[in-house]
Every structure is written in C-alpha cells, then in structure tokens.
Homo-oligomer: A and B are copies of this chain.
C-alpha cells in the first residue's frame, strides 16, 4: 500500500523544548521518522515522505510547505487505497501497521492521544481530511457525511505521537529503534514516583 508520511522538519517538537534544544529536537524527529519508515517497509508498505523542508531518509521525499491538510488532501482522491501515517509514531511496529493496513473499512483511522488522527487508510476518493483541532471527530463526521464506513483501530502503539514530555516516557518503556537509542544517548531516563513514571534528562 502507498503510505504518505507527512514530516514537519523546520521547527519540530517545540513542546519538547524543556528537554532538548532546536537542533536536538530536529535530530530526534528525524530518528522517529526513520523508525516509522522502517516499520512501514517491514509491514509491506511503500512510504513517501512529504516534508516542509528537505530531509535525507531512505524513502522518496517531496518538499511541500503548505499546511498538513492541504498536503494530505492532494495525496487522496485516487481509486487506489492510500495510508497516511504520522512521522512521530516512535512506537509503531510492523505488527501494529499490518493491523492498520489489513483492517477493512472505507476509512480506517487510528485516534491519537488528545483527539488527533495519527494514521489513516483511505479506500474511497470521496473522503477528505481536516487535521485541525480534534481531527478524529472531524474525520468521523466527514466519513459519515459522505456515506462511508469509518473504522477506528484500537492501538496504543499508534495512538502515541511523541509531542509531550509524557510521551517520551512511553518511548523509553516500549520503544526499540533509533528513537529510543537517541533518548538514551541524550541522557534521558525514567524516574518512578507515586503516580505515572516520568522522564528526566541528566545533562552531561
């Protein structure tokens, strides 16, 4: 399946500014992108990156600096199914993506924490995207209004897009690839308190 991976590489991951400076955040974002591309290929997908600035990865890259919804919209509209997978799903595994690609439905969506839409499979050209705000609610509505079936896939690995410091905890707990190694190299470790585990960075 053709898989579009949008990547905002200009000033990525600003909500991680308490942990990493701008160069580090870009570096970490590219590590996550590479992990996602590997998982897509291992799941049998054929990835293309659409980035707002050039980036060197082992997949074709198109540079397009329009807003996310416009960029993705241009990739839809064909009769062939197309998937859209966010570049910051550092916990994505081939197994989780295989479940996504193999789930039946005119539109299959994976909700992200906080109302986002972390991944989509679109099998009908009538569907359109709107990534602003609580996009999972918009995508439900858009599919319903177009008379399309809308199936939500229940996956924690694909629900966690790494945006916030709490998401880093999940990469340390459950990640395996470059992203996790990058965090370890940066001195980020887990700290257990009374509630949920937290991530802390030891500066060197």
On A, residues with C-beta under 8 Å from B are: 15, 93, 95-96, 99, 111, 113-116, 133-134, 136-137, 152, 154-157, 159, 163-164, 166, 169-170, 173-174, 190, 192, 195-197
Known A-B contacts: A114-B169, A115-B196, A152-B174. Give 17 more (CB < 8 A): A95-B154, A99-B154, A113-B156, A114-B166, A114-B197, A115-B173, A115-B192, A134-B173, A136-B173, A154-B155, A154-B156, A155-B155, A156-B156, A156-B159, A159-B159, A163-B195, A163-B196
CB distance from A109 to the nearest CB of B (A): 12
In the complex, chain B residues whose CB is within 8 Å of the CB of A95: 154
Number of copies: 2
A96's nearest neighbour on chain B, judged by CB, is B154
Bound complex: CA of A156 vs CA of B91, how far in Å? 13
| B196, A113: Cβ atoms closer than 8 Å | yes
In the complex, chain B residues whose CB is within 8 Å of the CB of A170: 113-114
| B113, A174: Cβ atoms closer than 8 Å | no
CB distance from A26 to the nearest CB of B (A): 19
| B133, A192: Cβ atoms closer than 8 Å | yes
Interface centre among A133, A137, A196, by most B CB within 10 Å? A196
